[in-house]
Structure formats: structure tokens, C-alpha cells
Structure 1
Amino acid sequence: MITLEVSTPFQAYQVPRADQTALVSPPLAEAPGLLKENQRLAAGWSFEFAGIPIAQLRQQARVDLLAAANQYTSAYRDYSGPQDPTSILLAGHQPQLFHPGVWFKNFALSKLGHSLSATPINLVVDNDLRGSGSVRVPAEGPDGRIQAASIAYDDPGASVPFEQHRIANRQLFNSFDERLAAAVAPWVDSPCVFEMWKHARKAAERCENTGCALASARHAVEGELGLQTLELPLSVACRSRSFAAFLIGLVGDLPRLHACYNDSVLEYRAAHGIRSQAHPVPLLGESDGWLEAPLWLYGDDAPERRQVWVKQQGDLLYLSDLQGVTVSIDYDPESPEMADQLYRLQSANFKLRPRALVTTMYSRLILGDLFLHGIGGGKYDQLGDRIMGRFFEITPPSFMVMSATVWLPRIGEAADSESVTRLQRMIRDTRFNPQRFFPGADRPEELLAEHRALLANVPTGAEKSEWHRRLMDVNTKLSAMLDSVRSRLAAQQREAQEHSRQWNVLASREIPFCAYPLEMLDETFTKLLSQH
């Protein structure tokens, strides 16, 4: 076995800042080599999950994944891309109305699936929290100034996973496209929210689930653009026997996973100078003999995510939220029966779901051959690499990182980032270098001559104090004559600050993709992919 060296440096990924620019790391041309190398690495793995060799688990999990993704996708759109369970590309994100940089991954997933003849599947990470039920977009305020406005697609509600959230306010949901379009009308004539929301309303009738409606509507629009990818909610992938076996491979050896996980987190924090106990993830805890597992537990009757705690006692393995829900299974981590017992325990009120690092661990080790991350995912999954490397004693498979920046059309010239600083410096100079501001005929020649003389004859020793007092006195007198200049500069500074503020609202990377013209995004992403 090859052990991952803990000295391996973490890679930094730079957000593309300019309009219509992208980060693709490594370049797309290296994807075929990465795919083959990852498959070569996987062929050499020999560890087991619940007594099931990883090769066998990977084979079954992929067959199940492909069947489930085909069934799920066919409910709302067609798919005619590759169908090979032995070569799978994966991406994933929460079913949010995310920014164009995230959507860029889906276009890359389709392109790579076609060029590599690999099955492209996007995982809808619906075990993450829904959030506010609204998006932030630019809008003109009553005074004509540009400000960030919150446009809701549903009522605020409890912080529960997308999987558990039902649309609460159908009227608000159905009118979202019109309200969003009205807000961005000064810059966008026809945002793609109109194309998307006709699908979202149909999906809401079909599934009533927020994540389902948002993700399937976006995916339907991708189909209309010609993108060929499959999709599947992570919650569906987690209902399989394969996922149960994977979990047994983790919780069946939880003390060692605990050490690998926490040591890797501490190493990551030290490398990045992070002092927060919550970033990038909290350490796994221990309480009265219970060890915390990197999992969530929730269900229909109690939809809030709770921590999962595990304890082995005799011939039994207990899993609990330490809040009243506790189950047990026979402890034999080398037996497939243990995985079968865990699989049979899952129900509408007992849903075991992975946390972020375990989600990508399962995706990269079991489900796919090459994973496409965004910048955040790529940054934090380097921590996942450390955990996988230590726990499984392998070199983890490589992944790709990509994102893009696209500005709204018609937002005007970019703000001069240096103008505010320059004006602030000029205002300061009216007090400490006032001689620079008297170019005209009304120059106070005597004071300026005295100022020049003082600067030309700087004394030393005891005379320095009197010289400094005289210089400050001249500066004060000259500065007092510059009130109108300071007022003019201050007005220019306020104007520059306001322009910069409004520009930052318009050029924000967090504006949702559905606020943009569809043709513009399609053309931009196609161009960027051809360049990388």
C-alpha cells in the first residue's frame, strides 16, 4: 500500500475576477490522463467494506447509481449520453439557485462526458440545508441608487435539509420569475429565469419538494441547451445497500477514522493559520464512550439534522443522536450482514446521510472515476484527501477544480479601485502638504516662500523643535485656505465610494445564474471551455 505523505502542500485556487474568465485546474486536456490514472489507482485497492471487496462494491454501486439516475432524470427530460458504469464522471452541488461559476461545472461535465465517452452524473446534494429561500440580485432603489435586493421564492422557514423541505408558499414560488426579472430589468431584458421557471412550476406540482423543483428545472433547461448529463439526488444514492456497506467500513472502525479525521483537520488548520474551531469542519467529538461519526441523522417527523454518535458494546454496535433515537446492529464489520442490517434500518424517520467530506469520499472512492469540484469543494477536499490517505492507506484519486466569473450585461464601466484611496490621500495632503494645492494666481506667496525655506534648511539638534513648530504653523495657515478644495475632494470621494459600492453590487459573483440571459451564458461557457 502507498501512504499519502502528510507533508504534501495544499494547493491554492484563485477565484477568476475579470468578466468572462475561468479557472480550470488541471486543464481539460489533462482529463483523459486523470481519468485513466484514477482507474489505475482504483484497480490496485484491496481493502473491504463490510467484508465486500472494494472492486465488487464499486461495481454494484455504479450499476445501482446509473439505474437510479436514469429513472430519476427520465421523469422530466431525455438523456442520450454515455451509459457506461465502468467509466463515470461526477460533479455535485446543493440544489440552489447558484451563481454562474457553479453552473459552469455542469457544462464542463457534459463536454467531458462526450469527449471521454464516460457517463456524466451530477449529484444533487440535498442533505445540505435549504437556507433563506431567497436570492440577492441588483435592483434600483427608490432614490435610483443600485442596491442588493432579496427576492424570495418561498417563505423563510426552519433550517432543514433540502430533502426534507416542502414548498410552503406556492403563490410566492410561482411568481418568482416575474419578480426577479423586474428587479434586474435595467440590465437584463430576458433573464433565463423565465425558461427555468416554467419547468420549476411543473416540478413543484410533481414533487412539492424545494430541492427537486429547483434542480430538475435547471437540469431541464440544460437539456434544452443540448447538455447531456444525468442527475440524482444524493438522498437517493444513500438508500442503497452499497452506501450502507460503505458506512459500515467507516463506523465499524470508527476509533481509527476518528484519529485520522481529527489529525487531518488539525493539520489543515495549522497549514492555513485557522484558529476557528468550526473551520473547515469541527473536530469529531467524544462523549461518555460515544464517538461522533461524520454523518447526519434526520427523518420526516424530526427533519432537523442531528449528529450521529456510535458506540460498540459487546457484540452490538449502537448508533444514536443522543436525543432519544438509538438503534443497534450486530457488530461484525467483516460481514455483509452488518451492512444489510444497517440498510434495513433506514426509513422515512431514520435517514443516515454523509457530511460533506464523507459525501465526496463516497463519490470519489466508490461511485465515480473523476470528480469535478468548484473552488470551495476543491479547497476543502484536499482535507478529504488527507483523511482518505490516512484511513485507507492509499493515494487518493485526483479531482478537477473549475469555476467562472460572468458579469451581467450593460453594467457600465468598472469602478476605479484606486480612486477612493487617491482622493483620501489628497484630502490628507491638504493638511500635511498644503503647498501642493496653490497653482493659481491667488497663491499666498509669503507663506509658500516660508514653507520652501523651512524645508530647504532643516536644522539638527536643539533647533529642530522650533523648526518643527514653525513648519506646523505654516501648514495650518495654508491648510485653512483650502476648505473649499477639501470640500470638493470629499464630495468626489463620496461619489467614488458610492460608484464603487454600486459597482460591487452589479459585479458580484453571487448573483444567481437565472438572472442572466441564457444565450449569453451558453455562449460564454462554450467559449471558456474551448480556451481551457
Structure 2
Amino acid sequence: MKANADDRYSGEPSEFRQYRAPRANQEVFVDPPLDEAAGLLAENRRLLAQHDSRWSAMRHEARAQMIKDAVRYTRVYRDTSWVSQDAERPIVMAGHQPSLFHPGVWFKNFALSHLSAKLNATAVNLVVDNDVAQTSAIRVPTIDPATGLAAYRSAQYDVAGGGVPYEQTTVGDRKRFDRFDREVAQAVRPLVADPCIEQLWPHARAAIDRCGVAGCALAQARHALEGDIGLKTLELPLGVFCRSRAFAEFALSILTEMPRFQQCYNESSAYYRAAHGIRSSAHPVPDLADKDDWFEAPLWIYGNQSPHRKAAWVRMRDDAIEISDLGNRTVRIETRNLSDAIDQLTAAMTPEFKLRPRALLTTMYSRLVLSDLFLHGIGGGKYDQLGDMVTKAFFEITPPRFMVLSATVHLPGVEPKDVAGEVRALRRRIRETHFQGERYRDEPGVDSSLVDQKQALLRQIPPRGERTQWHQKVTRVNRLLADQLMDVRQDLQRQLAAAQRRAVAQSVLTSREHSFCVYPLDYLTESFYKMLG
């Protein structure tokens, strides 16, 4: 079933779905609604079945391998006896980086388990461990003893500051890692008596003993905790499925046609930018470049000994392609025979030649090959509309639809106050002391005759073009009144500074960005199940 890049999108912003994170406490965003999931899954399976036989064969091999690998991976740290061996069972997927993310992201994992039970499907969460870890710290909400107001305190689980992919983030300070739960719990205790870091971190200490990698430990700890509360999902790091023959076949379908893929990719990106009024060429994704006879591919290359990601580049050579980081890593793949080429690329993926997809390619493979329904967050849902355009233009097929989910959960017991409104009101009053001093005629030290002059001037506004002298008189009176209201203004400015401090504290309390580990586990699970219900 063929489709053109323009079939779904006309280039107008209204043709793209608009996704916005919910702001109110325990508010959920789901598009399309959960009760349409069964129909969406059935529609996607019908659509995927219409693609030609090479897709069917690739899917069959890839899914069987993924479930086998995911069971093997997951059973190391939690029970998998519930996993069905039915090869035809639908697969529902989601994915995220292995970080201590906020509850809106964690909600997807609960929805994944909930939908898989409802749809009689297997749930697989993809651990996106090829993304670069930004930090080894989280901001913990607390109460500043000096002010009595909410503030942030940083807590680190390691000395390293990120900069390399999650799968490369070995822990350098084990003592710091081991005491992280106590540090977080102590910091958040003035606001939350029983943060779930205390249930999470014993799993993290056990995981770090097994793998030594922070990204692995954080993901396994969170997934083990999900097992403790009854969620039935499998997990698999992206780095594992990248070593499969099916992924090699998918990658080769692009790499052997890089000039055409690059054209489809860049034209779709330009189209997306124009439709959204985006001026930056780096958003939503940078264009793929070319230089000499090399074409940049939507993949990364790195290895254990030099873990910093570099762009993958491809060069055509007769009946072969070369894949390189344009540094010290290059492999040559003979392409005369597809099966042999797949074997060669699979064999080339070693600990020192890690070929990993970028974001759009990751979800493209996950949706076209691995799953029947993919659950995105807000950001993924926005950008994967671009992925759909690339899929249509290059593969000439219509991609299956996805769902977008997110939620907002505030800290327990937090009652939002309109401190921002108080700040606006105080700013308005301070401005009045400069330009509407007559409002303060009853304040001590205010000359009522100046107020009378101002009111008389306002009753006798001259016609346009004749107001120069009138304006000068009004300005003079305003200045005199402003001088007399200096004490009032200073008191208002002190009130404003205090209100601004309270507003900052309020923004801490009502933020949706706190790590899930600072919340009580029962409070979060009850909130999520309520929203799913």
C-alpha cells in the first residue's frame, strides 16, 4: 500500500496534531482516548498486513527475537512467568531514556501494562540507552530552613556528569551511589514523609552489582519496582535489539539508498519547519549532511573505548558500502547478496563498533517492525509526525498510528495559590505610584492639592494636536506625586520581593518535573490508576 509524503499533511499547522502537556494536578492527556485503543490496534494490524512480504518476514523474525531477548533480559531481576508464548499475540510498545524521570513519563509505563491486559497484548518498554546522559543528579524539592519556603536541593548518585550514552555511564563513586536514597529521602522529608526512593534504591544497588552501568541500574530498578506493584511489561535496552539480524536488514534498506533517503529526510524536515514556522535548521532535527562522496546517516557510532557518539557516514563503492565515523571506525559491507550483507553488518556490530539509530529511526523501526501500537510522550508525538512523513516518502507505505500520553501529578498535599496574581497586582500598584498617584491621596505626606490639579487636568483633556503643554503639566504633577509616594512605593517593593520569593517556592511545589522517586508510591499508583480508569 503506497503513500506519498503529502497524503496526510498539507503543510498547514492545523494538519499536524497539537500535543500539550497537562498542567493541573492529576490531569491526563491521551490522544486518541484510551477507549479507542482496541480499534486503533486492529486498524494498525490491518495496515501492517498490507505491506509486502519482505516486511512480514522482517517483522516475524524481529518480534520473535525481541520477545526472546526481552524475556531473557527481564528475568534476571524480576518474574516473567506470565509472558505468553503466542507468536501471533499483538505487541504494544513504549520507550524512554533510563533516567529518574517525572511522573508524566512514568504514567506511560502504567498505561502500557493496562492496555496490554485490555488488548490481550504483550507489553514491551524500550530502554533508550543510546541517548546521551545529561547529568547524574536530580533536583529534590525541600524546605529551605532559612526562609521556610520550598526550594530545590541537588542530589547526585555519581560524580560523573554525563556526556556519553547511558549504556556507557559506568558508576565512578559507588559510595555516593549507595547513599543516594538516604540523601534524597532526607532532603524531601519536610514535604514527603515516605518517598518511593526508599523502595526503588535497594533494586538499584542490586542492579549496579550486576551491570556496573548507571543507565542499566536505573532502568532495572524502576522496572523491578513496577513488578513489585503488579505491572506486567517486558523491557529491552535499545543496544540489545540493535545487534539483531532484523535490525541490520532494516538499517541496510536505508544505508544502501542513502542519497534518496537523505533527500526524503531533509525535504520532510524543511516541510515540517515551514508548516510550524520554525526558523532554526537544528529543529526538530538537523538536516543530514553530505561531503565529498560521503552521506550522513541517521545513526550514531561509538564504542567502549571511545564512548562519545559520532555521526555515521555512508559511502557507495560499486557492490559495497562503507560505514564510518570518519575517524578510526570504518566497516565495509558487500551488498551483492542481501543475506550475506545482513550477516556482515550483524557481525560488524561489536563493543567497539556500536551502530545505534537516532530518535526518528528508533521509533520508525519500533512502529514499522517491532510493534502493533506505540505509546509516545508529548515530545515524541510531536516529532514522530515528521517520522511519518519520512516513512511515507522513502518507504512509500503508510505508517501505523500511535498514541500520545502524559500526565501531571503534583506533590501530595500541595494546594495551588495564586501568588502570580499577587505579584501582578503589586507590580500594578507600584506603577500607579509613578503615574496614578491620585489613587493614593489618603496616604500620609500626599499633597491633596496636587491630586486636585491632576483630576482637573484629566477633566479638561484638549483635542489631539494641542496636548503638548497639557501633557507637560500632567507629567510634572505625576512626578511630584511619585516623589511624595516614595515610602509607599518602597513598602510595595518589599512586598513584591516577598511575593516573588513565594512565587518561586510555589513553582517548586506545583512543578510537574520532579522525579517520580520523590513521591509516595501509593499516592502515585492511586493517581495513575484513577486516571487510567
Range that drifts further, 451-460 or 62-71: 451-460
Task: Give the letter aligned to residue 19 of structure 1.
Answer: N
**Gapped regions of structure 1 (runs ≥ 5):** 48-52
C-alpha contact (below 8 Å) 2:204/2:220 kept by paired residues: yes
C-alpha contact (below 8 Å) 2:129/2:215 kept by paired residues: yes
**CA-to-aligned-CA distance 1:433-452 (integer Å, 9 cap, x gap):** 11111246976432222222
Give the alignment partner of residue 263 of structure 2, picking from 246, 259, 265. Answer: 259
2 CA distance for matches of 1:412 and 1:36? 42
Task: Report the Cα offset of residue 325 of structure 1.
Answer: 1.5
Task: Give the letter aligned to residue 176 of structure 2.
Answer: L
Task: Report the Cα offset of residue 462 of structure 1.
Answer: 7.5
2 CA distance for matches of 1:462 and 1:281? 54
Quickly say closer, same or farther: Cα 1:83–1:120, change in 2 above 3 A.
Answer: farther
TM-score (norm 2): 0.95
Please name the residue that 1:73 is paired with: 74
C-alpha contact (below 8 Å) 2:129/2:238 kept by paired residues: yes
Task: Report the Cα offset of residue 499 of structure 1.
Answer: 0.8
C-alpha contact (below 8 Å) 1:124/1:231 kept by paired residues: yes
Task: Report the Cα offset of residue 150 of structure 1.
Answer: 1.5
Quickly say closer, same or farther: Cα 1:157–1:433, change in 2 above 3 A.
Answer: closer
1 CA distance for matches of 2:205 and 2:364? 34
2:436 aligned with 1:433, yes or no? Answer: yes
Please name the residue that 2:281 is paired with: 277
Give the alignment partner of residue 141 of structure 2, picking from 138, 141, 149. Answer: 138
2:306 aligned with 1:286, yes or no? Answer: no
Sequence identity (%): 48
Range that drifts further, 451-460 or 234-243: 451-460
1 CA distance for matches of 2:305 and 2:194? 41
2 CA distance for matches of 1:495 and 1:461? 43
1 CA distance for matches of 2:57 and 2:31? 31
Q: Superposition RMSD on alpha carbons, in Å?
A: 1.7
1:429-468 to 2 correspondences below 5 Å: 429-439=432-442, 444-460=447-463, 464-468=467-471
Please name the residue that 2:35 is paired with: 29
Give the alignment partner of residue 525 of structure 1, picking from 490, 508, 528. Answer: 528
Task: Report the Cα offset of residue 483 of structure 1.
Answer: 1.6
2:513 aligned with 1:510, yes or no? Answer: yes
Give the alignment partner of residue 156 of structure 2, picking from 123, 130, 152. Answer: 152
2 CA distance for matches of 1:446 and 1:180? 62
Task: Give the letter aligned to residue 23 of structure 1.
Answer: F
C-alpha contact (below 8 Å) 2:446/2:481 kept by paired residues: no
Task: Report the Cα offset of residue 113 of structure 1.
Answer: 0.3
Please name the residue that 1:119 is paired with: 122
1 CA distance for matches of 2:26 and 2:162? 37
Give the alignment partner of residue 171 of structure 1, picking from 163, 168, 175. Answer: 175
TM-score (norm 1): 0.95
2:209 aligned with 1:205, yes or no? Answer: yes
Task: Report the Cα offset of residue 477 of structure 1.
Answer: 2.3
**CA-to-aligned-CA distance 1:204-258 (integer Å, 9 cap, x gap):** 1111111111111101111111111111111111111111111111101111110
2 CA distance for matches of 1:66 and 1:461? 79
Quickly say closer, same or farther: Cα 1:480–1:45, change in 2 above 3 A.
Answer: same
Please name the residue that 1:324 is paired with: 328
Structure 1 counterpart SS, 2:419: coil
Range that drifts further, 349-358 or 5-14: 5-14
**CA-to-aligned-CA distance 1:346-380 (integer Å, 9 cap, x gap):** 11111111111000000000000000000011111
Please name the residue that 1:489 is paired with: 492
1 CA distance for matches of 2:146 and 2:274? 48
1:43-442 to 2 correspondences below 5 Å: 43-46=49-52, 53-79=54-80, 80-86=82-88, 87-141=90-144, 143-144=146-147, 145-157=149-161, 159-332=163-336, 335-439=338-442
2 CA distance for matches of 1:529 and 1:465? 65
**CA-to-aligned-CA distance 1:318-346 (integer Å, 9 cap, x gap):** 111101221111123x6222111111111
C-alpha contact (below 8 Å) 1:120/1:230 kept by paired residues: yes
Task: Report the Cα offset of residue 140 of structure 1.
Answer: 3.2
Quickly say closer, same or farther: Cα 1:463–1:238, change in 2 above 3 A.
Answer: closer
2 CA distance for matches of 1:287 and 1:446? 78
C-alpha contact (below 8 Å) 1:82/1:117 kept by paired residues: no
Please name the residue that 1:50 is paired with: none
C-alpha contact (below 8 Å) 1:371/1:399 kept by paired residues: yes
Task: Give the letter aligned to residue 527 of structure 2.
Answer: T
C-alpha contact (below 8 Å) 1:459/1:467 kept by paired residues: yes
Task: Report the Cα offset of residue 169 of structure 1.
Answer: 1.0
Structure 2 counterpart SS, 1:175: helix
**CA-to-aligned-CA distance 1:249-287 (integer Å, 9 cap, x gap):** 110111111001111111112222222232211111101
C-alpha contact (below 8 Å) 1:196/1:514 kept by paired residues: yes
1 CA distance for matches of 2:446 and 2:309? 72
Task: Report the Cα offset of residue 2 of structure 1.
Answer: 2.6
C-alpha contact (below 8 Å) 1:34/1:398 kept by paired residues: yes
Task: Report the Cα offset of residue 429 of structure 1.
Answer: 1.1
Range that drifts further, 113-122 or 273-282: 273-282
C-alpha contact (below 8 Å) 2:104/2:408 kept by paired residues: yes
2 CA distance for matches of 1:274 and 1:300? 37
**CA-to-aligned-CA distance 1:396-425 (integer Å, 9 cap, x gap):** 110000011111123444343222222112
1 CA distance for matches of 2:335 and 2:429? 74
Quickly say closer, same or farther: Cα 1:450–1:184, change in 2 above 3 A.
Answer: same
C-alpha contact (below 8 Å) 1:39/1:369 kept by paired residues: yes
2:477 aligned with 1:474, yes or no? Answer: yes
Quickly say closer, same or farther: Cα 1:290–1:441, change in 2 above 3 A.
Answer: closer
1 CA distance for matches of 2:107 and 2:87? 24
Structure 2 counterpart SS, 1:266: helix
2:30 aligned with 1:20, yes or no? Answer: no
2 CA distance for matches of 1:480 and 1:306? 63
Task: Report the Cα offset of residue 127 of structure 1.
Answer: 0.8
Task: Give the letter aligned to residue 316 of structure 1.
Answer: A
Task: Report the Cα offset of residue 314 of structure 1.
Answer: 1.4
2 CA distance for matches of 1:140 and 1:512? 17
C-alpha contact (below 8 Å) 1:83/1:119 kept by paired residues: no
Range that drifts further, 24-33 or 478-487: 478-487
